[in-house]
Structure 1
Amino acid sequence: MRIDRITEAAAVHAASELFDAPPLAEATERFLASPGHHLLMAYGETGLALGMISGVEMTHPDKGTEMFVYELSVAESARRQGVATALVTELAAIARRNGCYGMWVGTEPDNEAALGTYRKAGASEEAPFVLLNWDLLVEGER
């Protein structure tokens, strides 16, 4: 398995099945061009994308910089083979090299696969929190 940092939109669109919805051209370009935004893909021996992880560095004046794990996905055929753990581990290495003091992720309490992956990659559970959301799109936008 090979893990690459993605900098070209073509690689994102070629692996669109790893995303929740088809990647949007403008959003893909913006994400890839933004400093502190990271998109990694794992590739198998055949060159097919097996999984992806995205992370965003966030800096706050009184805390410093931390890495937020935005999304993790592994193709169904490649699950339970260490792909997700390798991706999380590589993103953590990037975070360390970039001076992040920590890395965090949120997931659903019943998402056993995600919880297992994150724990296996060294994450520890903190106090529960409440997620509040603002839907800022007007009906029909996207």
Structure 2
Amino acid sequence: MAEHGWWIGTARTVDEVLSAGPLYDERPRPAWAERFLASPGHHLLLAYAEGAEGPVGMVTGVEMTHPDKGTEMFLHELGVAPSHRRRGVGRGLVEALAELARERGCHGMWVAVDTDNEPALATYRSAGGSFEGPCTVVNWPLAAADPPG
């Protein structure tokens, strides 16, 4: 057990991914969880706490390589159970993902976040993130609902 009463582990099975269901924006699906775990450069770290049923936090990261930028870690999503917020769990997950990114040879890590999402901004700031200013996220909804195969 970690000194804070919580600890972080890497999700390696579909059941572990699904056990974090309440922490995601939407309900996770087994086929998508399986595909995520099988995809090189995809990472899911889970925070656990003694006495809690299931994970109390999660962060997903995806390694992205570009010909003129090298490899960066994209912090895709961070979630912490309401019962465990303001205990350092989010910061710990972000720091653990950053350490994994360093180990994997990434030259940086980044995340897109709404400028009015104060809890996320505070978490990223406390984990050593720097802010480059506002940006706009452009989205293309596509029809594919399930992974192939």
TM over 0.5: yes
Cα distance in 1 for residues equivalent to 2:102 and 2:129: 14
Measure, in 1, the Cα distance between the counterparts of 2:10 and 2:83.
Answer: 22
Detail structure 1 runs of 4+ shifted over 3 Å in the superposition. Answer: none
> 2:34 matched to 1:29?
yes
Secondary structure of the corresponding residue to residue 87 of structure 1? helix
Cα offset for 1:127?
Answer: 3.2
Residue in structure 2 matching 1:87, options 76, 82, 93: 93
Q: Out of 48, 58, 70, which is 1:52 matched to?
A: 58
Q: Distance in 2 between matches of 1:86 and 1:131?
A: 26
Greater Cα offset, 103-112 or 121-130: 121-130
Residues of 1 paired with 2:107 and 2:142: CA distance? 31
Distance 1:31 1:12 in 2: 9
Kindly provide the amino acid, as one letter, of the partner of residue 142 in structure 2: L
Identity %: 53
Deviations 1:42-93 (A, max 9, x none): 0001253110000000000111000000000000000000000000000000
1:1-142 residue pairs with structure 2 within 5 A?
1-46=6-51, 48-137=54-143, 141=145
| Paired positions, count | 140
| Letter aligned with residue 35 of structure 1 | P
Distance in 1 separating the partners of 2:79 and 2:72: 21
Instruction: Give the superposition deviation at 1:7.
Output: 1.0
1:15, distance to aligned residue in structure 2 (A): 2.0
Give the TM-score of the pair, scaled to structure 1. 0.94
